[in-house]
Amino acid sequence: MTAPAKLQRLFGLEGQVALVTGAATGIGKAIARLLADAGACLVIADKDVAGAETVSGEIEGAMPAGFDLVDDASIDSLIATIEDRFGRLDIIVNNAAIFPKYKFDELTAGQWHEMQQVNVWGCFVVMRAAAQLMRKGGRGGAIITVSSVGALRTAVHDQIAYNASKAAIDSMTISAAYDLAPDNIRVNSIQLGAVSALDPKPHSPHHVPPTGPLTAPGRILLGRPALPDEVAGPVLMLTSAAGAYITGQAIVVDGGFFIS
């Protein structure tokens, strides 16, 4: 087997259908582009329907879809639409989330519950619906959740609610890997550190720059935030044949911050 053919066998996604949530911008958009480059047929899902349509227009054969993580019915409708359109689902990248910062002494019950509703319950509902469609196909599948190194240690101030939600996602990843392994559905997460913006935009007048260990000089051992494509690469590995024996793992992608 030639080297290109071997690489195609390991990393190619031809014939597979991949759903990426929160793919209208940023990390999700970069992941969607790379999975499409590997041959997958993409579903670009986002609360921002116009943004999803714009990204889909840049990726041949991609389907835009609107959905809302706080609306279980919209998630079920999204998966039903994928089944009607493609008859299968092989990959789901749970990337959509919210990440506002709340000061410890000012965090309200409403803010806490919104964070967990969107980042944890919404992620679970997507995972559950996707896994049910994967089971129908009988071909197995790959589920990736986008987490944060903040689930392991504090990286940025004022993120106690966010960090708790990401720690829950990582625990959920392990449990789902146990439950779905008999169906050959692999479940993993990637724990991100600082990531550069894919499409930089001016900050609003009310923007408060993040502070904390992640922003301290020398704490990122590789010396800079990740590029979005450097986040997409590990996702491709975990969703392709190259990662076929990996499940129940939370993989740190942070340029060495965690060990510094």
Q: Which helix (H) or strand (E) holds 45?
A: strand 41-46
Q: Among 148, 165, 189, 240, which one carries the catalytic annotation?
A: 148
SS3 track for 155-185: CCCCCHHHHHHHHHHHHHHHHHHHHHHHHCE
Q: Helices 123-137 and 72-86: crossing angle, nearest 10°?
A: 30
Q: Among 162, 165, 189, 240, which one carries the catalytic annotation?
A: 162
Residue 148 annotated in active site: yes
Task: State how far the alpha carbon of 239 is from the alpha carbons of 33, 38, 140, 142, 149, in Å.
Answer: 14, 11, 11, 5, 21
CA 237 to chain CA mean position, Å = 14
Q: Among 165, 166, 189, 240, which one carries the catalytic annotation?
A: 166
Q: Which helix (H) or strand (E) holds 53?
A: helix 49-58
- State both tokens at 111: 């803010």
Residue 166 annotated in active site: yes
Q: How far apart are CA 44 and CA 23, in angstroms?
A: 6
Annotated catalytic residues are 148, 162, 166
